[in-house]
């Protein structure tokens, strides 16, 4: 098993925020250069990964991956899942941990959005 970072191209960062409050939803626009499994669904190309703290607090699927439509509008949802939060050092950019195997497509293991101190583990649905 080989774990590696940086096999995705980060296209930019979007966040819903106000001047006084910490945003409860954070998003990252990500381009997967290789076919990649995210919670059992395969993606390739540009997607938006959204994490919703309110949904997580209520035990609902807190991560949704959308097709990229535009910088201001989410596309069709591809997959949603409950992440497995892990305390991490502060991320200064989007971070992705992927598993790579010669015999199968890449698999997203964890992601961390810029400005967060929490990594979001991705369940392995096969």
Indicate the average pLDDT of the chain: 86
The neighbour count for residue 37, using CB atoms within 10 Å, is: 20
Overall average pLDDT of the 57-65 stretch: 96
Please state the domain extents for the chain.
2-15+24-121
Question: Confidence band (pLDDT; 50, 70, 90) for 22?
Answer: low
CA–CA dist 70, 82 (Å, integer)? 25
Residue 91 is classified by DSSP as P
Beta strands 95-101 and 104-112: pairing type? antiparallel
In this prediction, residue 96 carries a pLDDT of 95
């Amino acid at each position: 098993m080989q774990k590696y970072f940086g096999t995705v191209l980060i296209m930019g960062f979007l966040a819903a925020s106000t001047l006084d409050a910490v945003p409860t939803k954070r998003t990252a626009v990500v381009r997967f250069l290789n076919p990649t499994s995210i919670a059992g669904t395969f993606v390739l190309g540009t997607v938006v990964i959204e994490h919703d703290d309110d949904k997580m607090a209520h035990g609902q699927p807190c991560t949704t991956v959308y097709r990229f439509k535009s910088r201001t509008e989410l596309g069709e949802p591809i997959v949603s899942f409950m992440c497995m939060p892990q305390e991490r050092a502060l991320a200064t950019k989007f971070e992705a941990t992927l598993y790579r195997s010669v015999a199968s497509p890449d698999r997203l293991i964890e992601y961390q959005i810029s400005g967060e101190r929490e990594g979001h583990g991705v369940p392995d649905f096969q």
